[in-house]
Amino acid sequence: MAKPLILVSNDDGITSSGIKKLVELMSQIGEVVVVAPDSPQSGMGHAITVGDTLRLVKVDIFDDVVAYKCSGTPADCIKLAKHEVLKGRKVDLVVSGINHGSNTSISVLYSGTMSAAIEGAIEGGPAIGFSLCDWSPDADLSHVDEYILKIASETLKNGLPKGIALNVNFPPVQNEKLKGVKVCRQANARWEEDFEKRKDPHGRDYYWMFGNFINHDKGEDNDEWAIANNYVSVVPCIFDLTGHHAISYLNEEWDL
């Protein structure tokens, strides 16, 4: 039987160690094609390129794997992969990552990694975003293999509900072995930002954003709890942002 076709992308750029690891793992279970940004695109969210050119360049980076670097965003990469690189072919699975840094809780909204995965779900197929909660570009990825292969294989075998992309986060390497997988919800947490005002060499003002991540969630069924307790967190995500619970409130309470 033909191997499943797996599209790999990310937001850290096509030369990151995270995507190299993901390509190695996916090559064990399918035919891999890579379309990834030509430079880091962290924090781009679901941005797409509408006012500039998009370029695709074939590159020889991964052994025996067709790969293209793209000048656009992670979401652009998935769109171009479907409509140009893989025109006419059915993609069995879209995987994105492995991101260097956490994409738990509210960070999923800002994440280019997850936007590539969600774009895959929008295009109609199963999709997964993988992230390691360690920002170092040289982070230890030795503990993720078993879980990535298992989660990807289960997705290929059983599929996902329509419109779902999995947000998978790994704790950083610790002295103890990972405890397993927790399928859970997104934690109620957020970034509280601040801006430092600075001067450039020409005396003009500019701003540098920084902030603290504040977890307001005391539950034990969310991704922040799972990571803190050395579990792999798996959160099913949707791209329908409708606040369904507010529809009746607006209809009944507002005078529209």
Determine the Cα–Cα distance for residues 118 and 108; give it in Å rounded to an integer: 10
What's the pLDDT score for residue 55? Answer: 96
Residue 71 lies in a domain: yes
155: domain range? 5-187+218-253
Query: Tens of pLDDT along 201-213?
Result: 999 999 998 888 8
Integer CA distances (angstroms), 226 to 6, 150, 238, 253, in order: 28, 18, 20, 38
Residue 84 lies in a domain: yes
Residue 183 lies in a domain: yes
Residue 202 lies in a domain: no
Residue 168 lies in a domain: yes
> Which pTM value belongs to this model?
0.93
What's the pLDDT score for residue 1? Answer: 67
Residue 194 lies in a domain: no
What's the pLDDT score for residue 91? Answer: 96
What's the pLDDT score for residue 175? Answer: 67
Residue 28 lies in a domain: yes
Phi/psi class of residue 97: alpha, beta or left (left: φ > 0; alpha: ψ in -120 to 50)?
Answer: left
What's the pLDDT score for residue 173? Answer: 87
Q: What is the CATH number for 172?
A: 3.40.1210.10
What's the pLDDT score for residue 137? Answer: 84
What's the pLDDT score for residue 192? Answer: 84
Give the total number of structural domains in the chain: 1
Give the chain's residues under pLDDT 70.
1, 175
